Amino acid sequence: KDTDSNDIFKSLNGAQSRAVSSAAPTVAILAGPGSGKTHTLTSRVVWLIDHVGIRPCDVIVATFTVKASNEMKTRIGQALGDGREKKIVIGTFHSIARRYLARYGQHIGLDPKFGIADDSDSTALIKRICKRLNYTHLQPPLVRGWISKRKAKGTSDEQSTTAKNDKSVASQEMEQCFQEYQEYLQRSNLLDYDDLLVRCVELLRNYPDCVQNIQTVLIDEYQDTNGIQYDLMKLFAQANRRITIVGDPDQSIYGWRSAEIRNLHRLLRDFPGTDEVSLEENYRSSSSILDASLKVIQQDEDRYKKALLPIHEKCTRPVFRKLKSSTVEADWIVSEIKRIKLASGDMVKSDDIAILLRSAALSRHIESALGREGIPYKMVGGFKFFERAEIKTLLDYLRVIYQPDNNDALARILNTPKRGIGDVTAKSLLEEADGNRMSLWELLGKHCRGERTAKTNIRKAVEPKINRSLIGLITHFQSRLKPSEGTPVILVDIIEELLRALQFEKHLEETYGPEYELRWANIQEFMNLVAEFVNQDKLEEDMLPIIEGAEQGSDDDVLARFLANVTLATEKQTDKDKGKPQVTVSTIHAAKGLEWPVVFIPAVYQGSIPHIRSDDKNEERRLLYVAMTRAQALLYLSCPLYTATGKGEEVRISPFIEDLPSSTFLKKGPSLDRPVMSQVAKILRRDLPPDSVIYKNMPMMEAVEDNLFPIDPNQKEPPPNSHGYGQRPGQYKRQKIQHA
C-alpha cells in the first residue's frame, strides 16, 4: 500500500514524518501549539493501521474532549477512506473506561447496570452528607475537590499516602465525608467521574485479558493526564508497552483536576529508550499572533523552554480593546464580526470565528448580542444544555427508569410534574431514606404498600398519586425497555410515549407560561439528539473483543449508553441552525487543540484571567496562552471597564497583558483593507474574492463607538446597578452601523 503511505507523508515535515514512522516502542512528542502534534498523532494511527498492519480494534486513542476525539476520528476516517476508523477505541479517558467497565465490570463485582453521577449530582450529595454530619462549616465544592484529588492521584503515586497520614481535624472530617459519599454511591450503584477511572484501573490490573489484544496506545494532550490516567494508560498498553504521547507543558490547564506535569518525567523513567521528537514550526498562526502569545507565556520563567518558529508571515497585530461595559464589549465583538465578514467578501464565514471565554458565566452578553444581530452560533463546553430544567427533568426520568435507586434523580422528579408533594416532604423523605441506608425508591414503595416507616408522612391523598403516576409509570417504562422476543427497543418512541404519559407539554405550559414554547423546543431538540445518538450508536457497538471463557457484561442497553454519553459529553450544540455556518462560543478549556481563523477573547481582566477563584497564576497564564494560540489570522482581546460579576467594580487589565510592551497590541480594530485581507487569505490558504465596492470604504466602527461611549478616565460613569452591568434601556441610543 505504498501509495497510501506516500500520501500520509506529503503533508508532514521531516520531524513529523520521523515521529509517524518511528519504530521505537514509545514515542514522545513535546512541542508548542500549532506545531502539528495532533496531525502527527492521527497520521501515526493511519500509518500503524495501513502500513504496519495493526488491526483498528487493537488501537486505543485517548483525548481530552469529546469534540477533539470526534474530530480525530473524522480525520483518521478521511485518510483510511473505508470506515475502518469506527473500530478504533477512540474517546476520552472517561468514555473509554466506561466502555470497558460496562463490558467487563462484572469481573470486579460491578453491577453492569451502573449509572454515572455527574459533577452536580456529586456536589448535591456531598452537601447532604455535610449537613447530616453537621459539618456545615465545610464547603461542599471544596470537599468534592478534595475527594476527587484523593481518587485522582492514582494508586502507584508516591504522594497518595500523604493524605492518609494527614491527621488534621479538617482532613479527618473530609475523610469521613469521603467514606459516607463512597458508601452512598456504592449503595446506589453509581460511579462518579473519578470512579470510572479508578474502577477501570482495578479491572485492568486484575484482568489484563481485557486489553490483551491492544497493540498500541496513543494519547493527545498528554500534559493534562493526571496520576490515575497515567496508570490507566500504562494498563491499556500492558500487553505490548507501545505508547505514543503528544503534548505541550505550556498548555497544561487542568491542574484543578490534578493533571501533573510530573507525568512527563514519569514516562521517560518508566519507558527508557523513548524516542523523543520535537517539532519547532508553527503552522497555525500569523507571526504577529505567535509573537504576542509567546510574550505572554515567556513571563513564566520556570517553564520548560522549547523553540517555536512561525512559518506564516506577519499579519495585522492582535487587538487589545477596553470597552465601557460587558454589554458594549459584546456589541463591539459582534460589530467586528460583521465587519470581518464584509471585508473578506464572505471568505471568512461564521464558522471560522470563535469567542473563547474563561468561564461559562460570561456567555450571557455574548449570546444576547449575537442573538440580536441574528448571527447563528453554537455553544461548546460547560454550557450545560443538559442542565436546563426541562431537559434535566426528562433525563432524571430516564435515569430513574434505568436505575430506580438513583435517589437524587428520583427526589428531583417526585413533584415534577406536580403531584402534591411539597419540597419539605421531598427533602425529609430523602433524608429518611439516606438515614435508613435504603433507597428512596424502596422507601416510597413501603409507603405505598402502607408499611409506614418512622418519620415522614406523605399525605394520604397523595399516596395513590405516587403509586399510580410515579411508581406505576416508572415500572411500566422499565418493562417497555426490555426487548421482548426480538422486538427491538426504539428509544425515541419510548421517550415520546413517556412525554405523553407525563403530559409534559402541559406541565411546561403550566410552569413557564408563555416561555414554554422555547422549553418545548428544547425538548424537540433533545429528541433529535436521541435519534442522532441511536444512529451513531449502531455503528459503534461491539468494538471491544469478546474474551473467551469469560463472563460478558451486557453492554447492549441503548438507554445506558445514551445516559452515559449525555453525562460525559462536554458539548451540546444548540443548533437550530444546523448546517449553516455558526460562530463558536466556547470555554477556553473546551477549545483546547482546536483552531479558528478569527478568535475573540473577551473579559481579559484581573479576576477573570487570572480567575478570582484560582490560586495558580501560572496555570491561568497558560490558559490565556492556549486561548491566544487558537487564532490563525485575526485575534482580538478585550475587557470592559467594570466587572460582569454584578458588583460593578472597576477592572484592572489582566496582569498577563499589563506588562507587555505597548506595541504588542493594536488599541482598536485593525483596518481591514485589501492588503490586510490578502494576508489573512494567505494564512488561511484561501482565495480572496475579487475586489468590490465593499473593500474600498470599510467604516471604522471604533470611531463611531468612541463617540458613543467615551472612554475617558476622568469622566467616570456611575458603576452599573446591582443587577449587573449594562445600561438601562434608553440610557443611550444605539446607533445602527451602516456598512455599505
Closest by CA to 598, choosing from 239, 351, 324, 322, is 351
Of 38 and 606, CB closest to Mg ion: 38
Furthest C-alpha separation in the chain? 82
Identify whether the C-beta of residue 200 lies closer than 8 Å to the C-beta of residue 102.
no
680, burial (CB in 10 Å: exposed 0-12, middle 13-18, buried 19+): buried
Of 36 and 115, CB closest to ligand ATP: 36
Of 39 and 358, CB closest to ligand ATP: 39
Q: Tell the smallest beta-carbon distance from residue 37 to ligand ATP (Å).
A: 3
Q: Tell the smallest beta-carbon distance from residue 72 to ligand ATP (Å).
A: 10
Size of the site for Mg ion (CB under 5 A): 3
Cell numbers of 91, please? 474517546
Of 5 and 453, CB closest to ligand ATP: 5
Q: Tell the smallest beta-carbon distance from residue 284 to ligand ATP (Å).
A: 4
Distances (CA, A) of 416 to 8, 70, 89, 514, 609: 55, 35, 39, 19, 39
Of 63 and 188, CB closest to ligand ATP: 63
Identify whether the C-beta of residue 394 lies closer than 8 Å to the C-beta of residue 388.
no
- Count the alpha carbons within 13 Å of 353 in the hemisphere toward its beta carbon: 25
Q: Which stretch binds Mg ion (CB under 5 A): 184-192, 427-435, 561-569, 589-597?
A: 589-597
Of 15 and 414, CB closest to Mg ion: 15
Q: Tell the smallest beta-carbon distance from residue 66 to ligand ATP (Å).
A: 16
Q: According to the binding rule CB under 5 A, does residue 593 interact with Mg ion?
A: yes
Q: Which stretch binds Mg ion (CB under 5 A): 181-189, 230-238, 452-460, 591-599?
A: 591-599
Residue type, 52: V
Angle between helices 516-540 and 491-501 (to 10 degrees): 150
Q: From CA 92, how far away is CA 589, in angstroms rounded?
A: 14
Distance of CA 729 to the CA centre of its chain: 35
Q: Tell the smallest beta-carbon distance from residue 251 to ligand ATP (Å).
A: 6
* Contact partner, 34, from ligand ATP, Mg ion, none, Cβ < 5-8 Å per class: ligand ATP
Q: According to the binding rule CB under 5 A, does residue 36 interact with Mg ion?
A: no
Q: Tell the smallest beta-carbon distance from residue 42 to Mg ion (Å).
A: 10
Q: From CA 318, how far away is CA 667, in angstroms rounded?
A: 9
Q: Is 691 helix (H, G, I), strand (E, B) or coil?
A: coil
Q: Tell the smallest beta-carbon distance from residue 630 to Mg ion (Å).
A: 11
Of 207 and 283, CB closest to ligand ATP: 283
Closest by CA to 377, choosing from 390, 391, 366, 365, is 366
What is the binding site for ligand ATP (CB under 6 A)? 11-13, 16, 31, 33-39, 248, 251, 283-284, 593, 595
275, burial (CB in 10 Å: exposed 0-12, middle 13-18, buried 19+): middle
User: How many CB atoms are located within 10 Å of the residue 113 CB?
Assistant: 15
Of 16 and 643, CB closest to ligand ATP: 16
Q: Is 583 helix (H, G, I), strand (E, B) or coil?
A: strand
* Contact partner, 283, from Mg ion, ligand ATP, none, Cβ < 5-8 Å per class: ligand ATP
**Helices and strands per DSSP (H, E), number in the chain:** 31, 16
Of 204 and 297, CB closest to ligand ATP: 297
Q: Tell the smallest beta-carbon distance from residue 303 to ligand ATP (Å).
A: 15
* Contact partner, 36, from Mg ion, ligand ATP, none, Cβ < 5-8 Å per class: ligand ATP
Q: According to the binding rule CB under 5 A, does residue 654 interact with Mg ion?
A: no
Q: Tell the smallest beta-carbon distance from residue 13 to ligand ATP (Å).
A: 4
Q: Tell the smallest beta-carbon distance from residue 721 to ligand ATP (Å).
A: 41
Identify whether the C-beta of residue 569 lies closer than 8 Å to the C-beta of residue 384.
no
Give the residue closest to ligand ATP by C-beta: 36
Identify whether the C-beta of residue 590 lies closer than 8 Å to the C-beta of residue 381.
yes
Q: According to the binding rule CB under 5 A, does residue 32 interact with Mg ion?
A: no
Identify whether the C-beta of residue 153 lies closer than 8 Å to the C-beta of residue 159.
yes
* Contact partner, 520, from Mg ion, ligand ATP, none, Cβ < 5-8 Å per class: none
Of 63 and 286, CB closest to Mg ion: 63
Q: Which stretch binds Mg ion (CB under 5 A): 31-39, 323-331, 335-343, 570-578?
A: 31-39
Of 42 and 567, CB closest to Mg ion: 42
Q: According to the binding rule CB under 5 A, does residue 38 interact with Mg ion?
A: yes
286, burial (CB in 10 Å: exposed 0-12, middle 13-18, buried 19+): buried
Contact positions vs Mg ion (CB under 5 A): 37-38, 593
